[in-house]
Each structure stands twice: as structure tokens, then as C-alpha cells.
């Protein structure tokens, strides 16, 4: 699991070409909801070591977040071979994240 938000976001074209299962996490290090979600994400990802995890520092004017229509933080976008498969917004428990991870890993 990545613990820091990347200040440099990948280009949408790069994300669209990612093979396999990927979790894109949009948020900000100062966001209370994002900080509260970190242990939930870590718990769920511990059971899915093969899932790529990309943390994107999102903000107004950031292209990648806008291309995924991100409105609230954290927004977890689960991709399978570069295509959005499911998303979870402001998770309240690890179970919602586990279920989404299970759905994308079952399809690999």
C-alpha cells in the first residue's frame, strides 16, 4: 500500500493502459475523511497484495480527478485493465473496499 499521495499525477492515457487490477485513490493529505479511511484501505489491501495502488493528490484543476468525475474525497476507483469497474466514495468500513477489491480480482 502506498502511504503518500503522489504530487505528480499520471496521465489518463497511462492509467487507461494499466494491465490488471488497480486502485486509484483520490484525496488529499489534509482531508479528514481521507485520513480516517487510511486504516480501512490498508486492511483491505493487505488481503489483495497483487492490486496496484496509486494515491493521487487531487485538487481543483487536476486533470486526472476531473477525468474520473471525482467530487468527494477519498474516492476509490477500482480499475481492471485500465477501465473503471467499481468505485467507493468516502468508505465507512473496510468491507466496502474488500468487496470492490474482490470484484476486480475475481475477474483477472
Where do the structural domains in the chain lie, given as residue ranges?
Answer: 12-106
Quote the pLDDT of residue 74: 98
- Write down the CATH superfamily of domain 12-106: Glutaredoxin (3.40.30.10)
Q: Is 6 helix (H, G, I), strand (E, B) or coil?
A: strand
Other beta carbons less than 10 A from residue 88's beta carbon: 22
How do strand 52-57 and strand 75-80 relate by DSSP bridges? unpaired
The model's pLDDT over 25-80, given as tens digits with 9 standing for 90+, comes to 999 999 999 999 999 999 999 999 899 999 999 988 899 999 999 999 999 999 99
pLDDT band of 108, cuts 50, 70, 90: confident
The model's pLDDT over 80-104, given as tens digits with 9 standing for 90+, comes to 999 999 999 999 999 999 999 999 9
Amino acid at each position: 500500500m502506498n502511504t503518500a499521495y503522489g504530487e505528480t499525477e499520471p496521465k489518463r492515457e497511462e492509467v487507461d493502459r494499466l494491465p490488471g487490477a488497480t486502485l486509484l485513490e483520490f484525496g488529499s493529505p489534509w482531508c479528514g475523511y481521507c485520513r480516517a479511511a487510511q486504516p480501512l484501505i490498508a486492511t483491505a489491501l493487505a488481503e489483495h497484495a497483487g492490486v496496484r495502488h496509486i494515491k493521487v493528490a487531487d485538487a481543483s484543476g487536476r486533470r486526472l480527478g476531473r477525468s474520473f468525475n471525482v467530487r468527494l474525497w477519498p474516492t476509490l476507483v477500482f480499475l481492471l485493465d485500465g477501465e473503471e469497474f467499481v468505485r467507493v466514495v468516502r468508505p465507512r468500513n473496510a468491507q466496502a473496499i474488500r468487496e470492490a477489491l474482490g470484484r476486480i480480482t475475481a475477474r483477472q
